[in-house]
Every structure is written in structure tokens, then in C-alpha cells.
Structure 1
Amino acid sequence: MSTSTNTFASHYPVTGEVIANYPIADRETVFNAVVAARSASSAWQDLGFKGRRKVLLKWSNLLISQLDEITELVSRETGKPVSDAKLEASLAVGHLGWAARHAEDAMRTTHRSPGALMANMSATVERSPVGVVGVIGPWNYPIFTPMGSISYALAAGNTVVFKPSEYTPGVGAILAKTFAEVAPFADIFTCVTGLGATGKDLCESGVDKLAFTGSTRTAKLVAAACAANMTPVVLECGGKDPVIVAEDADIKRAADATIWSSMSNAGQTCIGAERVYVHEKVADKFIEEAIKVAKSIHPGAPGVGNYGPATMPSQINVIQGHIDDAIAKGAKVALGGSDSVKAPFVEPVILLDVPENSTAMLEETFGPTIAINRVKSMAEAIALSNASRYGLGSSIWSKRQGKKIARQLHCGMVAINSTISFAAIASVPFGGVKDSGYGRIHGPEGILEFTYPRTVVRARFQLPIAFTSFKRTKGNDKLIVTLTRLLNGRLG
């Protein structure tokens, strides 16, 4: 936990009341945390996969035993329903357990063919942890999202310094506190709280890799700050995730899942549905069902609403602007409208025939709104889906065309006849393309993301012809060229 004489407050977003005060870690505190993590790195690696697995599973069990306390805190800091917080925390713990149990397999040394010309060599590729990983987490899923980096980095043998969002510092603090209770020694996983400057300091602290989740705009600043020290980054940014509904879709399920995806967590989900392209033959039925579902839900405080407030107050203006711009450009209002924004809450909004040049179709809204447009074909739906500068996730509803459509989408993840299901499956990678970021968390790829490959080539025996020697003759050169021409990589 960070220490500083300066503090900041976390607030309950429903009322604005102060929940608690946390220290603002200054530059020296952040740098010292990274130095301490580096000192602990060798001992953490020396525990080996079995030793680390034992610690991480012990942490997982402790988190499970304190799930009620943790989810109450998540709900308090974000304003989301306790049920949603419990689902989030449960999925986070599931990822922790998976990473702990599968790191050894993912990082297993592999043997590679040396090829005919180097047949006397043994070629292997080892995987080693990068060292110290910095993690900057978001406020919308304050335990699930950062644990996708923390768990996998720790399981791979790295130590971690975590900077939680200034809107949800308590979640970061409780993660560090619970890990300290099971840790074999200090500084394996630490938390530094603070504002934007604290995150910037972590970027510049000399960590060996940094994982960031947040807006594309901030991600570019993070990448620039890290570039000064040649620090590689994993960036999980925003999305404008499309939903494609084919004429052979199960319309009721598609509408129900789409409204949940777009409006649960007050629409504050980077992989949540934001725009729908529905085949014109089933559009009326889909819209009718979507309106029916959306009318049955409402925002409110935890225990009152189906979803909560805008956790970050400034997002209210973004949501309002997107709704107003869409209407001004000719979108039809099927449910709600401009007056649905009643800070800190936003009531469900469904817009139809939304112009593709409106901000509601171009930029991430991050609110409980959905834009539904009709298309004449799946080719048109695919083209419009791919036209976005974002490429995070997507959802397809079709009984027969799902895989065919999925292969043509420019995004990191696709759910067919389900929504955001890929986030709950620990064995598959999570991440995007284009302005949605790069790098992956979750799955074997998420473990390998926090490692680097080391090639080891060993001579098993010496060839009578020395290719790597000043004694190489013209005859040797001719033999090399002849073999290369004949083989051309066939025995590689």
C-alpha cells in the first residue's frame, strides 16, 4: 500500500458522499515500490511453478472466503448492484485459479527443428518472466479487469505493482491486503494509490512491462510515457462493439442478451453492445422485443435499480452529447431520449436508424444506450461493423451463419449466440485490435504476454565441415548453396 502525506477521497457515486481517503503515492513512493518488487523478483521466481501455484491458490481461497466484503466494496465504489459485483469478483477469482494451475504448461520449454543444414544442433525455446510488471486498472470492473493482468503476471513468475483507478482505490487496497496475508515474503504484489500523476510515475518507473486498461486517448499517453524507457505495454482500450442479427436468429434471445450487454453496469462495459445491425426481415420483431426488455429495467442505487449510476461523473456529458447528436442528425427515438439523462443516472435509451457519421456510432458512449440500424444483408452488416476505428469484441446471432460471419470481423473476440461470454472463459485470450489496443490477457497467451522467449541452441556433435569458420572453402560455399536450393526449408 502506498504511503504519502497527501490524500484523496473515494466517493459513493449515487450520492457523492465520501467513502474513505487514500494516500496519493508520490514519484519517490512509486519508484521505491518498483525497486522493492525487483528485489523480491528472484525469490518469487525461485519458488517455481508449484510454489507460486500454492501461494496463488491460497490467495484465491482467501478471496472466496471474503467475497461478500469485497463485493460490497466494489458495489459501494462503483454504484453497481451487489449481484453484478459478486459476478465480477467470482469471475476474477476463477481467472486467478486458472492462471495458477496452467502457467507451467503455457511456459513449458519447446523443442524446434534445427533444419538440415544445422542438423547437429539442438534448438529449444524457453520462457522467462519479464521481471516487474506494472498494472494500471480501470474503475468500471475494478477487480475483474486488473486481475486479468495481475493473476497471469504473478503466475508467470513476475512481481507486480498495481495502481487502481482513483475512483475505486479501495478494491486495489483490499487485493494488496489479502495477498499480503498469504505471501511468503513482502513486495511480491503491492498497490500504490493516487491520481493520474501516480499512474504516469508508474509508467516511468522502469517496470519491465506495463498493462493498462482505459480509454484509447489515455492509452496513447501511457504508451508514449513507457516508450521513453523502451517499456513494452499491453493496452486494453475502448470499444464500439457491434451486434449482428441475421434473419435466422433466435430473436427473443438476441434482443434480451443485447439489452443486457448494452445496459448492465450502466453501459459501462468496454465489450458491451453499442450498435446493432439487424437484417431488415427481422428488424421489426427484434426492435419490439428490445423495447419490451428495456422497458422492464431501470437505474437506481444498489438494491433498487437493475443497474447503477455513471461511476465517473464526467461520463454523463458524453452520454448526453451522443444522444443529442444522434437525434439532431435524424435518428429516431424508440425508447427514452435526451431527457433520459438524470445525473447520476441514465434511463434506458434505444435509438433507431442512427446515421453512421454520428458520435453515437463512431465513439464509445459507455452508457445504457443502444443504436439499432437495419441492413439488407450480412455483407452490409459486416462492412459497417468493420468500418469502426475500434476492434474489441462483437456478438453474432444466427443459427447457421455465425462462424462464417465471425471470420470476417476485424476484432479480437466474437461471441456467437451469446454475449461477452469470451470474458468468462479463462482459457481464451482477451484483447482487441486497431484503437482498441494490443497485447492479450487471459489464456496461455495472457501468461506468455508477461514473459520473453529465450532461444538456446546447443551443438550435439561437430560436423566435419565448419561453416562458421574462416577456414570455410569455396567447396563448402557451393555445398551450402546446393543444399539450400534443394531443401528450401523442407526439412526445417
Structure 2
Amino acid sequence: MVQGVIIDNDGCLININPATGDMISKVKCTTPEQLDVIIDTAKSSQKEWRKKSVEERVDILKECIKELTDVSDQMIQLIVQEMGKPIAEAKEEMEYAVNDQDAYFDILLESIKPKKYGKSTVVRHPYGVVAIMSPWNYPLGEIMLLALPSLASGNTVIVKPSEVVPETGALLVKTLQKCLPPGVLQVAQGAGSVGEALVKHNGIDLVAMTGSSATGRKILEAAAPQLKRVILEMGGKDPMIVCADADLEKAANDAVMYSLSNAGQVCCSIERIYVAETVYDKFQVLAKEVAKDYKVGNGMETENNVGPLVSMMQKEHVKNQVEDAVFKGATMLHQSEIPNDVSKNESCFYPVTVLSDVDDTMKLFTTETFGPVVAIAKFDGSEASAVRLANDTEYGLGSSVYTQDTEKANRIAELIDAGQVGINCYPIEFMGVQCPWVGHKHSGFGYHSGKDGCLQFSIPKTIVSATD
């Protein structure tokens, strides 16, 4: 994932709308001195916050969700302005963050409350102060995924929003602070140097990040000298296997939809589509037709379903991957228009692009793309080849298998090295709230969500009593 950032001479982030190029705001970067104060405040506040029962903490977090609902319209507008995604997708992100949270809070309670085993009781202790490094592609949702279990576990939290979506993170923190005791949740703003300072600071006990594998490695290196705990959800290069007996219309629709969602700027986007050779030609035709229904434009305009990329640097990254693929023999099946009222050289819009005959000599199949590209390749249709190709990557986040043979689907799914595998579906769309979100290989270090994920934000202690 590639992004761009501008900091002026006054130490302010210049917050740019990627659809228009206009400045949204200037956001003051947190200085080292201010960071010390923020962390000291978090440490002091954590002493009282941890004394509350998990039930009390969860009840307070439920009130936080109500406060967030009250600013939903403002939040949606900010997400579109800062990140660029279509307003319909911004509404979905908002709805996911605030709706039907009862089941999630039940999981939090069940995960954290003490467990009795005979004469032994296992209790969960918070780590202390948690630094959350959040990404730009889901500037609201990803913070919530990491902040809620952190806070419920008795930790205090400092959020460092991505430097290209600072106002969304700031509004979220400001809103949740209305229900939380002072110092329990705070925000630090800035570019990579601020994030690095947070990770290395002696006052930080746990670092939780969603972002690129490159950033994840840097965090591991910075945290290692102090043996800090880390939870990292990193990049992906998710494969989709389309077998000869698949429902091709559904497969083509899903392939395009989940390659283009959020302009392809999703860690679990479908980025490698392997189609059995006997249905390869038909699949290409179907995918091309589906892609024609996607229109690129300003996310504020409801007829557009693909927004701009988040920055010019991200646009250049995607452009270079596509040009490399075409140069090496990929076939351009379709490329959409982009808005004609902006300069193609200056805007962050990139056309919806469908390529076939892609192979592993191309960057498009080896490096995370994060753009609105549908990349299709042919394979011989065998189960062995499907598994080999799916696993031919350093990543292991999501994947999917399309076939009407249930036993075959399960055999392939079992052998794919990924945290989530969908059978005839995109896994994240149907995963239960009880399920952890996991990255295998270079896609993760630790994990979040579900009961297993909630347990990552606290440490167990066993108390053994010789008397009842």
C-alpha cells in the first residue's frame, strides 16, 4: 500500500481530497513533547480504568456507540472527502461500526470475564497502554475493531490515524471521549515519525496495527528491543479459484465486485483470479461485461461506484503495475473512463481495468496492488494446481474457491494457506461475529475479532486457591 503525505513548515499535515485535489484542512502534528504528555496521561488513567469490572467497561462502550450514531452523517461525509470512497460504501462502513453490536459485546464479555476451573480461576489482565496504528482504507471501521477490545480489556488507548485521513480518526476519538473517563482514549497525529515514536516509547505496552506488511515489519523491529506485544493485520494478495464446474455468472460477478470494492483498496481484495482453462474464455467475457457497470468518479455523486485512489502515489503504484503487466504480455480486456472534468495527470482517479493472461512474472501477481484492477489467469483446472497457485505468495489473508462440488471445495479450502477461505463466496461478507480475522504467513502477526481475537488484548493470570 502506497500513500502520500504533505507536511508544511508549521508542522501541519495538509489534508487533501483525492477526488478534487482541494485542501480539506491542516492538522497539527503531535510533537515529541506532546506525545510524552499523552502517554503519561494514558498511564495514569489506566490505573482507574482497569479497576472497573468488564461489565462496567462494556456498558460504557455501548454508550460510546450511541454517541457515534449521533455524528453518523458528519462521519460519512468526512470519510468520502478524505479517503475518496463512494458515499454508499462510506455508509456501509458507518453502519458496520454502530449497528447490531450486541452480539459483539457479548463476545467481549465472555472473552474477558474470569473463568473458574476447580480450585483455579483464570483472570485477564490488561497490558496497559495500547497504541493503535490505523490505516486509511477504512479510517473508522479499523480503529473500532482494535479500540473496542483494547478498552473492554481495561487498557487505555492512543490512536494514531493514517496521515491521509486524520480528521476521521480525530472525530471518532472526540466522539467516544464523551462517554469515557479523561485520558482513557486519546489521539496523536502525524506521519510515520510519530508512529515510530509511539512504538518505541517506553510507555507503550501493546501496539496494534492494520496496514502494510512493510510497516508491520518496521513495527516488529522497533518493538523487539523492549519485547512489546504486537498485533499486526497486514497485506494480502488474495486468490480466487474458479473451477470448471463453477457457477460462472456468480463467480464473474463476485470476482469483479470484490476486486473493485473500495477502488480495490482493501487488504483482502481479490487480486489473483485463476480460472480453469475449459471455461476461461467464457469467464473473460462475463467479467468484462460486469466491469462495464462500474463507473469511476467523485464518491459524493451517488451514480459513481468506484472512487479515486487515496493519493497520487497510490495511483502511480497501480499504474506501474498495470503497465508492467501489459508490457509482459497481459491482455487489456476493458478499461473504463475517468471523469473528464479533471486532469488525468493530476487527479487520483484510476480507471477500472480488466486484464487477462496475467502470470507470476508480472508485479500484478506478486506485489499487493490496492487498486481497481481485475487480474485473470488461466490454470489447468486440477485441484493440485489450484492449491499450488493459491499458495504461491508470501501472503495468506483471504481466498475463495468457486465450484459446485462441495467435497472438492472443502479439500481445496483445507489446503490453502490463508486465514479465511470462502466457498462460492467472498468470506468476509458471511463470516460470523464469533470468527477471528487472521493473517497467515506475512499477512499477520497476532489477530483480532471473534473470541480468539479479543483475547489478544489482555494476558491471562491463573489464581489457585487451596480452599474453596
- TM-score surpassing 0.5? yes
Distance 1:107 1:54, change over 3 A: closer
Does 2:190 match 1:194?
Answer: yes
What does the per-residue CA deviation read over 1:285-323, in whole Å, with 9 as the maximum and x for residues that have no partner? 222111101011121101152111110221112111111
Rounded to whole Å, the distance in 2 between the matches of 1:402 and 1:145 is 30
Q: How does 1:35-434 map to 2 (within 5 A)?
A: 35-94=40-99, 97-111=102-116, 122-183=119-180, 185-205=181-201, 206-302=203-299, 303=301, 304-336=303-335, 343-376=347-380, 377-399=382-404, 400=406, 401-421=408-428, 425-434=432-441
Preserved contact between residue 292 and residue 336 of structure 2 (Cα < 8 Å) = no
Q: CA deviation at 1:250?
A: 1.7
Amino acid at match of 1:57: K
Preserved contact between residue 240 and residue 362 of structure 1 (Cα < 8 Å) = yes
Match of 1:449, SS? helix
Preserved contact between residue 423 and residue 430 of structure 1 (Cα < 8 Å) = no
Preserved contact between residue 338 and residue 349 of structure 2 (Cα < 8 Å) = no
TM-score by length of 2: 0.91
Q: CA deviation at 1:423?
A: 7.9
Match of 2:26, SS? strand
Match of 1:350, SS? strand
Counterpart in the other structure of 1:449: 456
Match of 1:182, SS? coil
Distance 1:17 1:70, change over 3 A: same
Rounded to whole Å, the distance in 2 between the matches of 1:204 and 1:154 is 21
The counterpart of 1:31, out of the listed 25, 30, 36, is 36
- Unmatched segments (≥5 aa) in structure 1: 114-121, 462-492
Distance 1:425 1:17, change over 3 A: farther
Aligned identity (percent) is 34
Rounded to whole Å, the distance in 2 between the matches of 1:54 and 1:104 is 10
Q: CA deviation at 1:283?
A: 2.1
Amino acid at match of 1:28: E
TM-score by length of 1: 0.86
Root-mean-square deviation over aligned CA pairs:
2.3
Match of 2:50, SS? helix
Preserved contact between residue 166 and residue 194 of structure 1 (Cα < 8 Å) = yes
Rounded to whole Å, the distance in 1 between the matches of 2:172 and 2:435 is 24
Rounded to whole Å, the distance in 2 between the matches of 1:433 and 1:223 is 16
Preserved contact between residue 297 and residue 338 of structure 2 (Cα < 8 Å) = no
Q: CA deviation at 1:97?
A: 4.9
Q: CA deviation at 1:455?
A: 2.5
Rounded to whole Å, the distance in 1 between the matches of 2:460 and 2:19 is 47
Distance 1:5 1:344, change over 3 A: closer
Moved more, 261-270 or 371-380: 371-380
Preserved contact between residue 107 and residue 434 of structure 2 (Cα < 8 Å) = no
Q: CA deviation at 1:125?
A: 2.8
Please identify the structure whose Cα radius of gyration is greater: 1
Rounded to whole Å, the distance in 1 between the matches of 2:421 and 2:100 is 19
Amino acid at match of 1:262: S
- Unmatched segments (≥5 aa) in structure 2: 1-8
Preserved contact between residue 31 and residue 202 of structure 1 (Cα < 8 Å) = no
Rounded to whole Å, the distance in 2 between the matches of 1:442 and 1:247 is 34
Rounded to whole Å, the distance in 1 between the matches of 2:153 and 2:320 is 43
**How many pairs align?**
449
